[in-house]
Structure 1
C-alpha cells in the first residue's frame, strides 16, 4: 500500500472516530451505577461495584475524547484547555460539598476535629485522597460515626490523577505528530500493555495488601484504560443486533447484581472486579440499541446520570454526619431513606445551580484559535460571563479557606507538641503521689493528641508495617535513635511493639538525668519472643525478633525493658493476659543473665466486641473523664499475671503499673489534668512524660 493511501486511510479512520454518536444509554448506566453505590452504602453496608463501573465509563468518555481530539490534524497541543475544562467540571461541586462538610464537621461535630480528617480535606481538594487514606492505613469501612466523611473521595482522586495522565498522553501524541512522528498506531498497544500490567498488579496486590490494592491508582488503572480502549475500538466490532441486545441485558444484570454477590471492599479491583466491569463492557458492546439501551437512555435515567457526580459527593458526608449528630450506631430505614432523598435533592440543586452554570460549554479550541482573547471580551460584554466569573471567584475563596485549615491545624499541633506542660498545673501521674491538681481544663487538646507521637515515630526509629524486618532502624539512624544520655556508660534496651515504644518518653528523661543510653529495638504490633506460640503475630515479626535477639546477645545490655501483658483483641478478648510467646523471651534473657524489667500493660478502651474506642474522641463528645474511662476489672486481672513467671527468674522484675492508670477501681481518661491516652490504648506523650519518677523507682536498682 502506498504512503498516500495509508495517510488517506488514517484520515478516514480519524473522521469516523470523531463522528461517533453520543451514547446516552451510558449516561444512564453511570447514573444507575452511582445510585447503587448510594443505596448499598446506606442500606447494605457493602461495596456495590458501581465505582468500578464509574471508573470504566470515565476512561471511556474522557480518554476517548482526548484521543479523538488528538487524532485531528488541526489539534492544539496546549494542555491548558483540557486541564481548565476538567477543573471547571470537577471542582465547583466538590468545593460546595467539602465547604458544607467542613462547616458542619469542624463546628458542630467535635469528633471530626482530628488531624487525620483535616489532612483528608487537603488530600481531597488536591486529588490524592486515595494515597492519604492508604498512608493512614484506613480500611474502606461501612458507615459509622467514627468513619471519615471524606472516605468516598478516594475514587475521585484516582479519576483526577487519571485525567491528568490522559491529557498528557493526548498532548504527547499531538506534539509527536508536529515533530513528524505519528504515534497514533502505538496508542492501542500502549493502552493494552498498561491495562494488562495494571490488572496483573491488582491481582498480585489483592493477595499481598488488599487495603492498598483498593485505593491504589496503579491497581485501578486497568479499569480506566480498558474504558479508553473500548472508546477507540468497540464501534469497530461487527456484532449481530440480537446478540447486542443479549449483551446489554446480561451486562445490566451483572452490574446490578454485583453488590448482592460480592464484597467489593475485600475483592476489588482484583480479578473479581471483572464481574461488574465485564457487565459494563457488555453494555458498551451492546451498541446503544435495543430495549435495555432505550431504558437506560430515557429521560429519568439520563437525569440520574446528570446528577451522578454531585450525588456521589453528597451522600457519604450526609450519612456519616447524620449518624454522629443523631448519635446513631447504625442506619435505620427512616434515616437511610432521608439520607438518600436529601442526597438526591442536593445533587439536583448542585447540578442546576453550580455544575451547569460553571461548566465549560464551548468546544475545545483548535490550533491558532484566540480563545483566551474571546473569553476576555465576553467578560466585558456578557452579564452571564461575569456571573460565572463571580461564582468561580467565590468557590476559589472556599478552596483557599479549606487549604488554610490544614496549615492552622499543623501550627496548633506543632505548638502543642513542642511545649512541655507546667507540672504545677498539669501534674499528670504525679497527682497519684499527692501533687495538687488545680481546677483547669485538661491538656493537651484531644483534637490533636492522635498526631502527637514520641520521637521514636518522628525520628523513624521504629520498624513499621511493610519495613524490611531484617533491618533494625537504630542501624540506619544511629545517633538519632539513641536516646537518654548518648555519652552514658550503661545501656538500657527497649524492645517490643508500640506499647513498649511509648516508654521511651520517660526513659529518655531518666537517661539524661542518670547517665544511661536508651536503645529502642521496636516494631509495630511485634512483641519480642523467641518462639511464636500464640498464632497472633506475623512472620515478619518473627524475622524482626531474630535480629533483636542477635543484637541483645551481642550487646549484653545493663537492662532490657518491655511490656508483659496484653489483651487478645484479635480473638475478641478485652482482659489482659500473658501470651505464651512472651516467656520464651524472658527465658532467653535469664539464660544470659541480662536484667529485665517487665511493665504490666496499660488499659485498652474497647467496645463490647473488642473493637477500639478512641478515648480522646469520647472526651470530645462527652467531656467526662470518668465516662470515657473504664472499670479496672474490665481490663486488669486481680493480680499481675506476669509476676508468676518473672518473680522466680534471676535479675527479673514484674512491675504492676495498674496503679499508675487506675484509682479506686476505675481507670479515668484524665489524671492530674492530663489526658492519659492518645487513642484507644496508647499513652499520650505528656502523660507518659509524667510517669518518669514512678518508673525510676522501679528500675533504679538495676542502674
Structure 2
C-alpha cells in the first residue's frame, strides 16, 4: 500500500512539474486579442456572433485553470482560499465597475430608454456574475445591436467566466487541502475534466434543438469549452505534433477562428456541435506550439497589446454601440458610426488597461504557505505613495459597486411607493376621455419609468403559462382559487383565453366580474394566441400543445362566455398592420361546433421599430415628450373595417368587438389618453388604462351575461 501511494504521488508530482515547466504562450495572448477584436467587428458591422467568445472561454480555461493547477501542485502552496479570490477580484472588477458605473450614469442622466426594470435587474446580475442566468430568466434572445437591446447583454459571457473561475479556485483548493490530509488527488483532475467536458458537450448538443436561447447562456452548456481549455493546459504538452506540421496547425487553426462568423450563425448554433469549428481552430493554434512565423506574429508587441486590452475592449464596445444608436436615433449601424464606436472602444480600452486595470491588479505572486502578506501590505501603504493611490482608487471603485448594488433596491422601493393601479377617475379618466369626460391639467400617470413593471395579478400570481413552462399544465389547475378572478361566488363563468394580448383584458374583466357577479378564469400562455389548428407557421409547438388542453377544458366546462383577441400584426414576417391569422378561424369554428358564446376583441395598436422590435411607448414619451410622435397613426395599424367582423357575423353566439375607437381619435392613437399612459411597453396596455376600459367592455358583453 505504501509503495502504491508513493508511486501515485510521484506520478502526480511529475505531471505537475511538467505543467510548471511549460513556457508562457504569448502567441495565445495574441489569439485572445484577435478573438475579441472579431467579436467587436462582427457585433458592430455584421450583426452576427463571430465565435470569438467561444475561443475566449477556451483560453480562459487554458490560462486560469492551468494557473490554479500549477499552484496547487506546489508542496508549499497556501491553504488560504482568500488569496486566489482576491487576485481574481482585482483582475476582473476594476474595469467592470468603471464600465457599469458610466453606463448607469448615462441611463440616469440622458438615456431614459435604459431605465427599464429588466435592465435595472441586469446591473445587479452583471455585478454579481449571474447575468447569463438573468438573461435566460428574462427570455432574452441574444439580439443584434439596436436601440431596444440591453447595453449589458454581452456580459453573459463574463458571468460564465466568473462562475468558472470560482469552480477552478475551489478545485485547486480541494487538491491542496486533500494533500494536507494525506490524499493525493492531482492524478484524478484529468479524468474529472474529461468527464465534465464530455457531459457538458452532450448536454449542449441535446439542449440545442430543445431550447437554444437557454443553451446559449447556460453555464452548464458552456462548461465544456472552459474545461477543454483546462485539459489542454494539463495534458496538452503530451500531444506531440511534428515540427513541420506545427506551422500548418497554426495557419489552419487561425483561419478557422477568423472565418467562423462568416460561415456560422453562432447565436443560433453555439455552444452545440457547430462550436467545434472555432474551438477546434483554437485547439490547433495551441497544438502549433507557438512555433513558426505566424505564431511569431501572434506574439509580437502589437498583438500582445491587443490581448492586453481584450477584456476592457469587450466591456466597452457593446454599451457604446447601444448608447450611440439610441442617441442618434437609429436602429442600424452605419459604417461611419461603426468606425467611431470601434475607435472610441479601443481608446477607452487602452486607457482603462493602463490607468485602471494595471495599477489595481495584484502584481505580486500568489503567497506560499507561511507568508505574511497582510503585514507587508500595511507597511507598504505607509511607505509608498503609489500604494496609497491604488488604495484610494480601489476604495472609489468599491463605492461605485455599493451604489450600483443599491439601484435595484431603490427601484423596487419606487415601484412600491408608486401605489396601486387604480387612479382617481376625476383626474385620470383614461378611456372615458374619448367619450366626453373632463381631462384636468396634470402630469400623466403612472411613472413612465415604472409602468413596465406594473403588471396584473395574472402575472404576479403565476396564473399565466410562461415561456419554458410545461405546456400540458394549466396554471388554474395548479394554483386553484388563487387564479379565480371576478366574483368567486358567481354562478356564471367567463374564460379568458389566448396570449398576453388577451391577458391584458383581465383587469377590467376582474372588476366587472366583482360588480356583476360572474367568475373569470384565465387559460392564457405567453406569446400563444388561441387556435385549434396551427395554419400560419408562426407559433411554437408548445403553444399548439397548450391550446389542445385549453380546447379540452372549454369543451368540458361549456362556459357562459369565452373572451379573446381576434386580430394581430404578422410581426414575425415584417408586417405592422393587423390581420386575422388563419389559425384563429379554427378556434372560432371549434366554439361554433360546441355552441360556446364568444366575444372577440380587436387588438390594440402595436408600436415597433422598423425591424419589428418593441419600442417602449412610455419611455419614448419620457425621451421626446411627444404623445403623438410616440403613438401610432391609426391607418398604419388598423384596416378600414374590423377584419374579424366578416368571419364572426355569420356565427351563432359570437360577436366582433371593434375596440379601435378605444385607442384612437381623429386618425391617431396617442401614447397618453385621459392623463393615463395607454401602454406599458410597445404593444401591451398599461393596467391603469385597461381598468378605465371596464365600462366600455361591459356595454359590449352585457348581452351574454
After TM superposition, is the score higher than 0.5? yes
- Of the structure 1 ranges 430-439 and 158-167, higher mean CA displacement relative to structure 2 is found in 430-439
Pairing partner for 1:58 from 42, 60, 63? 60
Alignment of 1:523-534 (within 5 A): 523-534=525-536
| Offset of residue 436 of structure 1 | 0.7
Tell me the distance in 1 between the aligned counterparts of 2:329 and 2:572.
27
1:217 aligns with 2:225: no
Q: For residue 421 of structure 1, what is the aligned residue in structure 2? A: 423
Alignment of 1:621-640 (within 5 A): 621-640=623-642
CA contact (8 A) 1:26 1:297 kept: yes
CA contact (8 A) 1:25 1:294 kept: yes
* CA deviation profile, 1:66-101 (whole Å, cap 9, x unmatched): 111112222223211111110000000111111111
Root-mean-square deviation (CA), in Å?
Answer: 1.8
Tell me the distance in 2 between the aligned counterparts of 1:324 and 1:59.
36
* TM-score after normalising by structure 1: 0.97
* Residues 656 and 179 of structure 1, relative CA distance in 2, 3 Å threshold: same
Pairing partner for 1:376 from 359, 375, 378? 378
Tell me the distance in 2 between the aligned counterparts of 1:652 and 1:265.
44
Tell me the distance in 2 between the aligned counterparts of 1:120 and 1:504.
29
Secondary structure (helix, strand or coil) at the match of 2:564 reads strand
Tell me the distance in 1 between the aligned counterparts of 2:695 and 2:25.
73
Q: For residue 521 of structure 1, what is the aligned residue in structure 2? A: 523
Pairing partner for 2:309 from 290, 304, 307? 307
Tell me the distance in 2 between the aligned counterparts of 1:238 and 1:200.
27
CA contact (8 A) 2:331 2:609 kept: no
* TM-score after normalising by structure 2: 0.96
Tell me the distance in 2 between the aligned counterparts of 1:382 and 1:36.
41
Q: Number of matched residues?
A: 703
Tell me the distance in 2 between the aligned counterparts of 1:84 and 1:365.
12
CA contact (8 A) 2:562 2:597 kept: yes
Pairing partner for 2:293 from 282, 291, 294? 291
- Of the structure 1 ranges 126-135 and 552-561, higher mean CA displacement relative to structure 2 is found in 552-561
Alignment of 1:344-423 (within 5 A): 344-416=346-418, 418-423=420-425
Secondary structure (helix, strand or coil) at the match of 2:38 reads helix
Tell me the distance in 2 between the aligned counterparts of 1:158 and 1:696.
51
Q: For residue 644 of structure 2, what is the aligned residue in structure 1? A: 642
* CA deviation profile, 1:180-235 (whole Å, cap 9, x unmatched): 22211111111011111111111222212222221111111111001000001111
Secondary structure (helix, strand or coil) at the match of 1:581 reads helix
* Residues 176 and 676 of structure 1, relative CA distance in 2, 3 Å threshold: same
Secondary structure (helix, strand or coil) at the match of 1:22 reads coil
* CA deviation profile, 1:517-557 (whole Å, cap 9, x unmatched): 11111112222222333333222222222221222222222
Tell me the distance in 1 between the aligned counterparts of 2:112 and 2:454.
18
Q: For residue 664 of structure 1, what is the aligned residue in structure 2? A: 666
Q: For residue 502 of structure 1, what is the aligned residue in structure 2? A: 504
Tell me the distance in 1 between the aligned counterparts of 2:161 and 2:656.
55
* Residues 453 and 593 of structure 1, relative CA distance in 2, 3 Å threshold: same
Alignment of 1:530-569 (within 5 A): 530-569=532-571
Pairing partner for 1:110 from 103, 109, 112? 112
Pairing partner for 1:230 from 229, 232, 236? 232
Secondary structure (helix, strand or coil) at the match of 1:418 reads coil
Q: For residue 591 of structure 2, what is the aligned residue in structure 1? A: 589
Tell me the distance in 2 between the aligned counterparts of 1:3 and 1:161.
33
CA contact (8 A) 2:421 2:688 kept: no
Tell me the distance in 2 between the aligned counterparts of 1:545 and 1:408.
40
Tell me the distance in 2 between the aligned counterparts of 1:299 and 1:573.
51
- Of the structure 1 ranges 544-553 and 280-289, higher mean CA displacement relative to structure 2 is found in 544-553
Tell me the distance in 2 between the aligned counterparts of 1:601 and 1:190.
55
| Offset of residue 428 of structure 1 | 0.5
CA contact (8 A) 1:497 1:524 kept: yes
Q: For residue 27 of structure 2, what is the aligned residue in structure 1? A: 25
| Offset of residue 608 of structure 1 | 4.5
Secondary structure (helix, strand or coil) at the match of 2:452 reads helix
1:162 aligns with 2:200: no
Secondary structure (helix, strand or coil) at the match of 2:531 reads coil
Alignment of 1:129-144 (within 5 A): 129-144=131-146
- Of the structure 1 ranges 531-540 and 259-268, higher mean CA displacement relative to structure 2 is found in 531-540
Tell me the distance in 2 between the aligned counterparts of 1:300 and 1:81.
32
CA contact (8 A) 1:497 1:528 kept: yes
* Residues 121 and 610 of structure 1, relative CA distance in 2, 3 Å threshold: closer
Pairing partner for 2:80 from 78, 83, 102? 78
Structure 2 regions of 5+ residues with no counterpart? none
- Of the structure 1 ranges 233-242 and 584-593, higher mean CA displacement relative to structure 2 is found in 584-593
| Offset of residue 321 of structure 1 | 1.2
* Residues 156 and 2 of structure 1, relative CA distance in 2, 3 Å threshold: closer
CA contact (8 A) 1:147 1:320 kept: yes
Q: For residue 182 of structure 2, what is the aligned residue in structure 1? A: 180
Q: For residue 488 of structure 1, what is the aligned residue in structure 2? A: 490
Secondary structure (helix, strand or coil) at the match of 2:582 reads coil
* Residues 417 and 684 of structure 1, relative CA distance in 2, 3 Å threshold: farther
Alignment of 1:84-103 (within 5 A): 84-103=86-105
Alignment of 1:190-269 (within 5 A): 190-269=192-271
- Of the structure 1 ranges 111-120 and 544-553, higher mean CA displacement relative to structure 2 is found in 544-553
Tell me the distance in 1 between the aligned counterparts of 2:579 and 2:119.
34
CA contact (8 A) 1:567 1:576 kept: yes
Q: For residue 511 of structure 1, what is the aligned residue in structure 2? A: 513
* Residues 26 and 699 of structure 1, relative CA distance in 2, 3 Å threshold: same
Secondary structure (helix, strand or coil) at the match of 1:654 reads strand
| Offset of residue 4 of structure 1 | 4.1
Tell me the distance in 2 between the aligned counterparts of 1:641 and 1:336.
43
Q: For residue 335 of structure 1, what is the aligned residue in structure 2? A: 337
Q: For residue 452 of structure 2, what is the aligned residue in structure 1? A: 450
Tell me the distance in 2 between the aligned counterparts of 1:538 and 1:48.
28
* CA deviation profile, 1:92-131 (whole Å, cap 9, x unmatched): 0111111111112221112111111111111111111111
Secondary structure (helix, strand or coil) at the match of 1:170 reads helix
CA contact (8 A) 1:105 1:321 kept: no
- Of the structure 1 ranges 27-36 and 577-586, higher mean CA displacement relative to structure 2 is found in 577-586
Tell me the distance in 2 between the aligned counterparts of 1:676 and 1:3.
74
CA contact (8 A) 2:148 2:614 kept: no
CA contact (8 A) 1:492 1:518 kept: yes
Structure 1 regions of 5+ residues with no counterpart? none
Q: For residue 677 of structure 1, what is the aligned residue in structure 2? A: 679
Q: For residue 701 of structure 1, what is the aligned residue in structure 2? A: 703
CA contact (8 A) 2:381 2:387 kept: yes
CA contact (8 A) 1:417 1:452 kept: no
Tell me the distance in 2 between the aligned counterparts of 1:611 and 1:11.
57
| Offset of residue 506 of structure 1 | 0.4
Pairing partner for 2:274 from 272, 275, 296? 272
- Of the structure 1 ranges 448-457 and 584-593, higher mean CA displacement relative to structure 2 is found in 584-593
